[in-house]
Amino acid sequence: MPLRNSSEAGFDQHEPFFLCRRDGCLKLLDKELLKKGGLRVDIEPRQGEQRSWPAPKDGALAKALGRKTVSVVDATTGWGQDSLHIFRMGYELLCIERSPMMAELLADGFRRLAQQDWMQRLHKQPPRLLVGNAIELLASLVEPPDCIYLDPMFPPKRKKSALAKKSMMILRDLLGDDEDKEQLFAAALKATGKRVVVKSPDDAEPLGGKPNESFHGKLLRYDVYLKG
């Protein structure tokens, strides 16, 4: 991505999205966000999530990941919110992101995470991050993880809501609807050591056929596929 000077004429006409360093972190902007501060990877726990280390392994996500699971690969990291929750629950985590722009934002977020007092006090390292096509990267893993986590983009079944989060709208614009999600699921099932967990809207068809288990959250579910 070329570097441009924001003071030059027609700056905001070159690209639909661009990265900018503001307020001590890397942010994603478009024309609408230019005066609103931009979007960054938020490294703070979401509302309702524990701040302790490790956070309790409860809730639908933790149940889907598995009580005996140690290592997790998030093959569709996106803005990293599920990844960071998984990390804070104490799992060994590897993140994969195919969008170079999102990967830059994630890398910046992980650098900020590494500088947190609690991370340094506990001598913790942030999650590892690989950039590229997850289908190819999963096939190249040396050690199979206990769990591979997928949160693919599903085509919206309803008209776009005015309440849709700006971050998710941008992610869809950058990545599309993950039309290769069936191939990604097949690659994940082949590469995992024990299970694949697929996060999906509660009204979506299961990605891999009938799951072994399903755990429901608010308007979503986690389908679990055990490696036979």
Q: Hey, what domains does the chain have and what are their CATH numbers?
A: 1-40 (no CATH), 59-226 (3.40.50.150)
Reduced to 3 states, what is the DSSP secondary structure of residue 204?
coil
Q: How would you write the pLDDT of the chain (228 residues) with one tens digit per residue?
A: 454 555 555 555 556 778 888 888 999 887 766 666 788 999 998 887 777 789 999 899 999 999 999 999 999 999 999 999 999 999 999 999 999 999 999 999 999 999 999 999 999 999 999 999 999 999 999 999 999 999 998 766 554 444 457 677 766 666 666 678 999 999 999 999 999 999 999 989 999 999 999 999 888 999 999 998
Closest CA to 132 of 98, 102, 176: 98
Residues forming a β-bridge with 226:
195
The model's pTM: 0.87
Closest CA to 86 of 30, 38, 127: 127
